[in-house]
Structure 1
Amino acid sequence: MLNRDGEKLVDPQSGEFYPVVHGIPRFCDADNYSESFGFQWNLFNKTQLDVYSGTDHSEQRFYSETGWDPSDLSHYSVLEVGSGAGRFSEVFLRTTTGVLHSIDYSSAVDANHTNNAVYRDRLQLAQASIYEIPYLDNSFDRVFCLGVLQHTPSFEDSVTALIAKTKVGGEIVVDFYPINGWYTKFHSKYFLRPFSKRLPKPFLLRLIRLNISWMLLLFDTLCFLRVGFLTRFIPITDLRGFPKGLNSYQRREWAVMDTFDGLSPEFDNPQRVKDVARMFNRGGCEVTFAGLATYPAGCSTVVRAIKRSS
């Protein structure tokens, strides 16, 4: 356990101090490989939130991927790893009465803190690495990690870290970018990433904004002509997975945000579903689902697993 000491947390065993900034304990250096996500989510801090977009896209995705019942979650200890700006934190806090423990490696925790201020008494935030989650092992009944694992240095080490914090009998849910075949990386994103991820983040964002209009037009034209497979050669995110009902401004902002999300991260490691399932098996888990979770706005590649042994 850590004791609060003014604006720091103190580990009584090691004597190590951790700063508390804006009410959030910081267990990692501010400069790390997730810098692009801190930049992204503090800029697009509300774009993906259902309460801002006027959709239920995030809620659909959360409950379709996890298969959880919100009434059950109110009674469980729950950990979110990789909160971003808090889109799924907001879903959990709005649809349950439970307490959510949530970490992110980037300064996106500040956006989450602001976006979910109304739930502050039930949201326990910390800035920390997935490899050094500041909770005891075997602490949580439910652990979810959505939109994160492909962006970590070691996919399997990240899975192992999630398993460690889950109680025996507890459930872990992750989603990730899938490898669907040899053509997965035959995509403009992967052609450009060796260069784009090294660009200053504000400059990359400006390039995307300057080019987003023609890319949107070309993407929509190719889909209208029923040659949507060619859109992989346009350096823009796949617009077909966006929530229905976005106005033109919102759709443009989602396109800019998701395109930046694809081109800027340090790591982008898609995986085969069977390989991720094996990672959980090696970690002492029983995989209960491995495949596509579908919902009205789209689908996600998901693995759910029950921890059977420590």
Structure 2
Amino acid sequence: MPPSDLTSRFILESDPYASEIVFPLPSYWWSRPYEYQWCSAFAEAEDIVLDAACGISHPFKFYLAQHCKQAHACDWDPQILSFTNIVEAVRADFGDAAAEQVDTQFRSNLQLQQASLAELPYRDRLFDKIFCISVMEHLSPSDALLAMHEFHRTLKDDGAVVITLDYPTVNLAYFQLIMSLSGFEFVGAVDTTIPENVLHTEQWGGLSCFRALLKKAITR
């Protein structure tokens, strides 16, 4: 069941976090335990879902395969097409036990594609949920806009995009502009103020993490 707080806002140090998603998460991951905890609450049993720019070893796509009707994952890295490479990447990043778990549990229930988010290889209105976790900061402005258009095209009319992004690498006014141009609006309230207990890292010049829940805008 989705969380009661659907507000698009900065993630706080006091928010719930997951120390394990499929397998234990590294202690040095500053934001993913919080992002995964929030995103996982939107993965429902009857959903067809996409983990957009999923990464090779990152575990959220495996979580979706465990909890959703049909799980798709895509990444620009060609290694995503080799399950052997995925298993070895998991082994390098998370250890032998995690690699064995992935190798034995997820070969048949996860649909993988190599793809740019600017040109997704999926039919129109396929997905109930699209998850995009800490990706927008890695896209050029033109590709970010194209990606949002592709999310709109491939999302069901009553679906949702669950997205997180690094601030200030992604300017929030810019993000709101491209989501509006792509036909999205926020689900529920939005709060762009930065509270004192915001989740923060001094790495990469200082970052905080913003979460957003989007739906297709109603056309009048």
TM-score w.r.t. length of structure 1: 0.46
Q: Which amino acid aligns with 2:74?
A: I
Matches within 5 A, 1:1-310: 51-53=23-25, 58=32, 60-64=34-38, 66=39, 68-70=41-43, 73-84=44-55, 85-94=57-66, 96-109=67-80, 110=82, 113-114=86-87, 115=90, 116-117=102-103, 118-153=105-140, 154=142, 155-179=144-168, 270-288=169-187, 289=190, 291=192, 300-308=209-217
Q: What are structure 2's unaligned runs of at least 5 residues?
A: 1-19, 91-101, 202-207
Q: What are structure 1's unaligned runs of at least 5 residues?
A: 1-47, 180-269
Name the structure where strand makes up a greater proportion of residues. 2
Name the structure where helix makes up a greater proportion of residues. 1
1:173/1:304 contact within 8 Å kept: yes
Find the residue that maps to 2:167 and give its secondary structure: coil
The alignment's C-alpha RMSD in Å is: 3.4
| C-alpha distance in 2 between matches for 1:133 and 1:146 | 16
TM-score w.r.t. length of structure 2: 0.63
| C-alpha distance in 2 between matches for 1:145 and 1:283 | 15
| C-alpha distance in 1 between matches for 2:138 and 2:122 | 22
1:285/1:306 contact within 8 Å kept: yes
1:136 to 1:301, Cα distance in 2 relative to 1, 3 A: same
Residue in structure 2 matched with residue 257 of structure 1 by the alignment: none
The aligned length equals 169
Q: More relative contact order in 1 or in 2 (CA 8 Å, sep 6+)? A: 2
